[in-house]
Structure 1
Amino acid sequence: MSQHPHSAHPATAQLFSNPVRLLAPMEGLTDPLMRQILTQIASDLGRPYDWSVSEFIRVTHHVLPAHVFYRFVPELNHQCKTASGTPIHIQLLGSEPELMAQNALAACELGAPAIDLNFGCPAKTVNNHRGGSVLLDEPSLMRDIISAVRDTVPSHIPVSAKIRLGYTDTSNLDDIRKAIADSGANWLTIHARTKTQGYKPPAYWEKIVGFTELAMPVIANGEIWNNQHAQRCCEQANTPHLMLGRGAVTRPDLIAQVDNPDTELDWQALITHQLAFLHGDAKTEMALIGRYKQWLAMLSKGYAEAKVLWDDIKKLRDKQAIIEQLQAQRDEV
């Protein structure tokens, strides 16, 4: 696997001195509570995430007040790190270069260690408002946004971008690559599908290769569910750097298994983290129960025990009753 020189940015060179493993920003899924749980598990397994990226903060008409940044990224109260010490990079989404730059600066002034710019979100509402992956059809605007942010935030703070392979198809990949090359971005994360392909298998890791010729690190993302997928992705994409998304929620030990396939988090150990989740912060108890059930449904694809538990609790609407079911499962051993 060939290596390309890092951009001259000292923080970037330090961050990418070894293969990096990131926890992906997933709208409505990897919120602050889920980040706290998953980064804690990774840390306990001895392979912490190098960093995670916040859910996107939508930039529309003005510079957002501080409380909005704190709501999306409460880690700003703790040096922008989760309880286990994993740094959180702040992700912005929008289409107005100067406004994006001013919001990025505001985030940096609150303590953001890095700014990530979202050009990959496939959500129809976001795309209809000229945000996320629809901008892949406007590479020059994408370049202008990244450049404006890079020129505005302090030079020691890295600026990265996350893209897909295109909006409806991959026909303008060359234009996207040139725009990124000219933008001043410090690194690039690529979800190896177009917006139209959504999250449907497969991911086209081999289409990332052209970007690894750029003078910046490239992180591959998409359809990595186990160690074999991770190895194949690195080979086909020609990069050692990976961002883990739904696979990391389904198997929270995936982060460790990428480099050591024998590492395993058994169900009993995972119950402790599920109980911690159920004691976490949420707007309402019903919201917390809904989020937990969403996670458990995903865990049921990775753990047979989760499927059994799902059948027992899917109709429960009381948090304490769910906690008791989990405790009963734990005590069965």
Structure 2
Amino acid sequence: MSNKHSNPLFSNPVRLLAPMEGLTDPLMRQILTQIAADLGRPYDWSVSEFIRVTQTVLPAHVFYKYVPELHHDAKTASGTPIHIQLLGSEAQLMAENAVFACELGAPAIDINFGCPAKTVNSHRGGSVLLDEPEVMYQIISAVRQAVPSDIPVSAKIRLGYTDTSRMDDIRGAIDASGADWLTIHARTKTQGYKPPAYWEKIQGFNSLDIPVIANGEIWNTEQAKLCIRQSGTSHLMLGRGAVTRPDLIVQVDKIDVANDESLITSTLLWSDLITHQIRFLQGEAKNDVVLVGRYKQWLGMLTKGYMEAQSLWNEIKRQKDKAAIIAALQASR
């Protein structure tokens, strides 16, 4: 088991891009990690959308579909490492898939115990396993024992399934499992994504001898400061806030925690973001219909972070032609 004080990946506070199903796909990861790198504060790593493990060891093309970065040393074009996230309930099968992912070049394996989706939970995956800490232990320990010792194995959890009554049991399972670190979304499955996040409840996991990463409801520097203070950890995973404000990592990373000040010196202007939006629309996808739909999803989120996005949204929300959307983007500079 890793010691939180000796793990070299955590020698400084880490800033991670969260795995978000249907949102941080390879194209979105490429764009967001590029922006962060261009602003001078690249993400320490990102975690892939979960790869569902059910009945067999998945073929290579499935891993490459979810994580095409495996073709490039498991890094985005800007050099951000991508950790592979697996989701399933059969310990041995999870271990076998993790081994194969490592053979394909995965730099680390993350195990999903946080997904709140009903379809996933009904098939005994994701956050429903928070009610079965003994199964969590079996899965993590099986994966940890199966993959090479130099490849980290981590877990991502919520505070519980319907409530937080199993937190002590969950902590015990993580402690005994051999996980190298733990990421905690500070809400239960039942609480979903509804504010607030209960960062103070992360404190109960800081007794673990591994690094703990806080996640959930971090949209700006004030919330980042509060999360760090209440959770007792300086390590943060950024999710929807990073999609809404792609420069959030830079703003967050300029927090002077000791002096309780925000030292923000650079932000991403709308005019600068237009180039990245056009690059998104020119990215790889099954077809232009899918690409336009994915872009509109992003633009809808950008309306929470940029006033200019709202007027553009009103202009193109019914537009289906990609070229016309790109033209409207260029005109909005």
Question: Quick check: TM above 0.5?
Answer: yes
Q: TM-score, normalization: structure 1?
A: 0.96
Q: Within 5 Å, which residues of 2 pair with 1:133-212?
A: 133-212=127-206
1:9 to 1:209, Cα distance in 2 relative to 1, 3 A: closer
Q: Within 5 Å, which residues of 2 pair with 1:233-244?
A: 233-244=227-238
The equivalent of 2:321 in structure 1 is: 318
The equivalent of 2:29 in structure 1 is: 35
In the aligned structure 2, how far is the partner of 1:202 from the partner of 1:58? Answer: 29
The equivalent of 1:7 in structure 2 is: 2
* Secondary structure of the corresponding residue to residue 258 of structure 1: helix
Alignment: residue pair count: 324
Query: Which of the numbers 86, 111, 134 marks the counterpart of 1:92?
Result: 86
The equivalent of 1:57 in structure 2 is: 51
Q: TM-score, normalization: structure 2?
A: 0.96
* Residue ranges of structure 1 left out of the alignment (5+ in a row): 1-5
Q: CA RMSD in A?
A: 1.1
In the aligned structure 1, how far is the partner of 2:265 from the partner of 2:54? Answer: 46
Query: Which of the numbers 291, 296, 307 marks the counterpart of 1:293?
Result: 296
Query: Which of the numbers 70, 79, 82 marks the counterpart of 1:76?
Result: 70
Query: 1:7 deviation in Å?
Result: 1.8
Residue identity opposite 2:50 in structure 1: F
Q: Within 5 Å, which residues of 2 pair with 1:257-296?
A: 257-260=251-254, 261-296=264-299
The equivalent of 1:101 in structure 2 is: 95
1:251/1:299 contact within 8 Å kept: yes
In the aligned structure 2, how far is the partner of 1:60 from the partner of 1:259? Answer: 38
CA deviation profile, 1:137-193 (whole Å, cap 9, x unmatched) = 000000000000000000000000000000000011000010100010000000000
Query: 1:259 deviation in Å?
Result: 2.0
Query: 1:9 deviation in Å?
Result: 9.0
Residue identity opposite 2:300 in structure 1: A
CA deviation profile, 1:272-303 (whole Å, cap 9, x unmatched) = 00000000000110000000000000000000
In the aligned structure 1, how far is the partner of 2:70 from the partner of 2:193? Answer: 30
2:87/2:126 contact within 8 Å kept: yes
* Secondary structure of the corresponding residue to residue 164 of structure 2: coil
1:9/1:156 contact within 8 Å kept: no
Identity value in percent: 75
* Residue ranges of structure 2 left out of the alignment (5+ in a row): 255-263
Query: Which of the numbers 20, 25, 48 marks the counterpart of 2:19?
Result: 25
* Secondary structure of the corresponding residue to residue 161 of structure 1: strand
In the aligned structure 2, how far is the partner of 1:231 from the partner of 1:259? Answer: 10
In the aligned structure 1, how far is the partner of 2:87 from the partner of 2:295? Answer: 27
CA deviation profile, 1:73-92 (whole Å, cap 9, x unmatched) = 00000000000000000000
Query: 1:262 deviation in Å?
Result: 3.2
- Confirm whether residue 247 of structure 1 aligns to residue 241 of structure 2: yes
